[in-house]
Amino acid sequence: MLLENKKALITGSSRGIGLGITKRYLEEGCEVWGLCTKDSPAKAETEAFAKEHGVAYHEIHANVAEVENLKLVIKDALKEAGGFDILVNNAGITRDGLSFRMKLEDWNSVLSINLTSAFIISQIISGDMIRKRAGSIINMASIVGLHGQGGQVNYAASKGGLIAYTKSLAKETGARGVRVNAIAPGFIETEMTAAVNEEAQKAWLETIPAKRAGKVEDVANTCVFLGSDLSTYITAQVIGVDGGMGA
């Protein structure tokens, strides 16, 4: 029970990596507030899963691109929880396309949801963590944010920005007991990657020393470590969960 008696806020909790992290946190004894845009199909199942493990799951709703409403929802959750020990900024989207054809709308929406929302939420939650002189913020970046990817200039920029934000925020909060780290997944089996054509998937697998795609659990387990007291001297780091793809 690595996260027993802890409370976490996880964004993008309704599916994929976010749902995987949520379930692992519940398994480890953490009470979770999961932020998603609307009622998720997994809500009832996740609440039942939490009950089985003797903790609670609270689903809250906001469009992270709508700043003022997002602020209200986060502040209400913070008040309800009495403070969070862990924040996982996982919400994200893709709007892929070649840069010279990309609509400004697609650029702005990806930056808003993937990067700006993390800043807004962290600003609110970190203030409370700093007052308590304890907390862990985990930002979900990507291997694309480290190495780039054709056809994903907006996504790469948002994740690269999130990495720089992580390192900078860690320098601001380290002396105040708050650690800030990023996870950079590689090719992980999710609904998002399942939509990629078979030829592209094969090309990716050839670049992975581990010779397999990662699983959601691989990312979730790393998130458990970074949220737990096993990582109290780790901050300003970007941990690749990529089977060696980014080496």
Which amino acid is present at 36?
C
Q: What number of other Cβ atoms are within 10 A of residue 129's Cβ?
A: 24
Contact at 8 Å (CB) between 243 and 219? no
Annotated active-site residue in 57, 155, 165, 233: 155
- Quote the CA–CA distance of 94 and 92 in Å, as a whole number: 7
CB contact set of 132 (below 8 Å; sequence gap of 6+)? 83, 177
**How many other CB atoms are found less than 10 A from the CB of residue 28?**
18
Q: Is 57 marked active-site? A: no
Q: Is the dihedral of CA 147, 151, 154, 159 positive or negative?
A: negative
State the Cα–Cα distance between residues 247 and 243, nearest whole angstrom: 9
Q: How far is CA 18 from CA 3, 117, 146, 205, 212, in A?
A: 17, 15, 21, 23, 21
Phi/psi for 150 (5° steps) reads -60, 140
Which residue matches tokens 């976010």?
18
* Residues taking part in catalysis: 155
